[in-house]
Amino acid sequence: MIFLDKTKIRIVSGRGGNGMVAWRREKYVDKGGPAGGDGGKGGDVYLIADENMSTLMDFKYKSVFKAESGENGGIKNCHGHWAKDLYIKVPLGTVVKDLKSGNIIADLVVHEQKALVAKGGRGGRGNARFATAQKRAPQFCEPGEPGIERELILELKLIADVGLLGMPNAGKSTLISRISSAKPKIADYPFTTLIPNLGVVKGPNGDGFVVADIPGLIEGASEGVGLGHDFLRHVERCRFLVHLVDLTAEDPFSNYEKINIELAKHSEKLSKLYQIVALNKIDAVDEEKKNDMFDKFKTVSEDVFLISAVTGENIQALVNFMAQKVKEIEKPISDIVVQEDLDAFNNDDSEYEITKAAKDTFVITGGKVGRLAQVTDARNTEQVIRFQNILTGMGVFEKLKSMNVKDGDTIIVGNLEFAYYADEFYG
């Protein structure tokens, strides 16, 4: 399975169904009144965390997601059905960002935790909704509100109890394959592991904890050298780290220091995570070097283990100690700041603004007038007049007069465009 931990998707919520223009046609009912039903609401779009997913690979083959539209209104005051909501599954640990603003809008860390990322459009009202004592036979209805379209960045940060790190070829894959059921690729050359590997380890009491093998850490990893730049973020959610050191290396202590420098460069928080030092490959070095390295590492860490991932020597003691520390050390508090996601809703009620786009053209923008324009059918004169009358009540045309609008000038609001004449609709 290919591991993918960052991707971009485009989502579109469902459009609301159109309202209906219809009339009562019962027998013996002369000149029956309006009976057009409302359109149904369009489908919402949600992201939902799924513990059975471990990668964003599914989004490599499908990156556009569209919810269903609401059903149009019917005759006899029958309303259209609401569309089904769309749920998009993502792995636990997925951070969601809005591409346009860069804001973090969700951090999904619990199974079935969900986030609304696009609200479906409201269904348009049928002509029965517009009947009044003065206007008993309205000839118009509303179109449904359009859905919301936006692009999101999905970034996976693995959720593991323990992060296993070290220089390439330090034996991380061998160790995780020995202490868990994970089966990573193992070979005697650097960068054998190109993706993080997760393994579930059983402690002495049968309690399980998750270990993540983080590949590609070398000097300069925090700046993008090697593979570490891509995978350092997967360490951020760990309770603590097991730092695996290859005793057969030319300078094991220098390698240890280089990795810690890269952690500090990536994040101060990472540099302060508790570490267990595991000196690996004791089967391949003499007693003198083994003892010298143990003494040297004891000066920088209280918990140092001499192990051999190949032979299994001291592995169980290390696992037991890891299990103990998992119980003792709380999961780190997330420093991810989730911001209010206003872009998921089509309910912007902000004040309107008028811009003079040209000598004879005025553009009106703003949440409320924009939404009104969306549900106004430009082909229906009654609807356009109604829209213009609403603008009058909002003081739009008084503002235009103060900006020296003249008869014949073009007024643009959303998808609507009409000419201004002071003596037609504006009182």
Query: pLDDT tens digit string along 320-352?
Result: 999 999 999 988 877 778 888 888 887 666 778
* Domain membership of residue 410 as a residue range: 347-419
* Residue 62 sits in the same domain as residue 191: no
Say if residue 417's pLDDT is above 90: no
In this structure, are 261 and 362 located in the same domain? no
Counting the structural domains of the chain, the total is: 3
Give the model confidence (pLDDT) of 290-305 as tens digits. Answer: 999 999 999 999 999 9
Lateral strand order in the sheet of 410-413: 353-358, 361-365, 410-413, 416-419
Token pair 């299990």 is found at: 323
Q: Exposed (0-12), middle (13-18) or buried (19+): which is 91, by Cβ within 10 Å? A: buried
pLDDT value at residue 64: 96
Residues 181 and 318 in one domain: yes
The answer to whether residue 335 is domain-embedded is no
Map the chain to HEC letters.
Answer: CCCCCEEEEEEECCCCCCCCCCECCCCCCCCCCECCCCCCCCCCEEEEEECCCCCCCHHHHCCEEECCCCCCCCCCCCCCCCCCCEEEEEECCEEEEECCCCCEEEEECCCCCEEEEECCCCCCCCHHHHCCCCCCCCCCCCCCCCCCEEEEEEEECCCCCEEEECCCCCCHHHHHHHHCCCCCCCCCCCCCCCCCEEEEEECCCCCEEEEEECCCCCCCHHHCCCCHHHHHHHHCCCCEEEEEEECCCCCHHHHHHHHHHHHHHHCHHHHCCCEEEEEECHHHCCHHHHHHHHHHHCCCCCCEEECCCCCCCCHHHHHHHHHHHHHHCCCCCCCCCCCCCHHHCCCCCCCCEEEEEECCEEEEECHHHHHHHHCCCCCCHHHHHHHHHHHHHCCHHHHHHHCCCCCCCEEEECCEEEECCCCCCCC
Tell me the pLDDT of the chain averaged across its residues. 85
The domain boundary residue, chosen from 126, 156, 186: 156
- The pLDDT of residue 88 is 97
The residue that leads in pLDDT, 25 or 256, is 256
Lowest mean pLDDT among 70-74, 283-287, 349-353, 363-367: 349-353
Query: What would the two tokens of residue 218 be?
Result: 């070398």
* Position 321 in a domain: yes
Whether 17 has a pLDDT exceeding 60, the answer reads: yes
- The top-scoring range by mean pLDDT among 44-48, 154-158, 200-204, 349-353 is 44-48
pLDDT of residue 426: 45
Q: What is the pLDDT of residue 120?
A: 95
Q: From 281, 296, 328, give the residue that closes a domain.
A: 328
> Does any domain span residue 99?
yes
Q: How far apart are alpha carbons 297 and 290 in whole angstroms?
A: 11
**Does position 317 have pLDDT exceeding 90, yes or no?**
yes
Q: Is residue 334 part of a domain?
A: no
**The domain boundary residue, chosen from 265, 295, 328:** 328
Q: pTM value? A: 0.73
pLDDT over 60 at 221, yes or no: no
**Residues 4-25: what's their mean pLDDT?**
90
Residues belonging to the chain: 427
Nearest of 427, 418, 407, 426 to residue 364 by alpha carbon: 418
Same domain? For 146 and 178 the reply is no
- In terms of domains, do 138 and 82 share one? yes
Q: What is the pLDDT of residues 192-206, one digit of tens each?
A: 444 567 778 888 887
Residue 340 within any structural domain of the chain: no
Is residue 7 a part of any domain in this protein? Answer: yes
Q: Answer yes or no: do 186 and 121 share one domain.
A: no
- Identify the burial level of 35 via C-beta atoms within 10 angstroms of its C-beta, where 0-12 means exposed, 13-18 middle and 19 or more buried: buried
What mean pLDDT do residues 89-95 have?
Answer: 91
The answer to whether residues 119 and 72 belong to one domain is yes
Q: What is the model's pLDDT at position 307? A: 95
Please give the Cα distance from 94 to 405 (Å, whole number). Answer: 51
- Same domain flag for 222 and 120: no
pLDDT category, 43, cuts 50, 70, 90? very high
| Calpha distance 203→206 (Å, rounded) | 5
17's CB contacts (< 8 A; 6+ apart) are 38, 39, 40, 41, 42, 69, 70, 71, 72, 73, 80, 123, 124, 144
Between 51-60, 66-75, 175-184, 240-249, the lowest mean confidence (pLDDT) is in 175-184
* Same domain assignment for residues 57 and 152: yes
The answer to whether 236 and 271 have CB atoms below 8 angstroms apart is: no
Q: Note whether residue 341 is domain-resident.
A: no
- The Cα 216–Cα 195 span in angstroms is 9
User: Are residue 102 and residue 48 in the same domain, yes or no?
Assistant: yes
Same domain, 395 and 321: no
Specify if 76 maps to a domain.
yes
Q: Are 89 and 181 in the same domain?
A: no
For residue 220, name the pLDDT band (cuts at 50, 70, 90).
very low
The yes-or-no verdict on residue 1 having pLDDT over 70 is: no
CATH number of the domain bearing residue 7? 2.70.210.12
Are the C-beta atoms of 238 and 161 separated by less than 8 Å? yes
CATH of the domain at 169: 3.40.50.300
Please measure the distance between the N-terminal and C-terminal CA atoms of the chain and give it in whole angstroms: 68
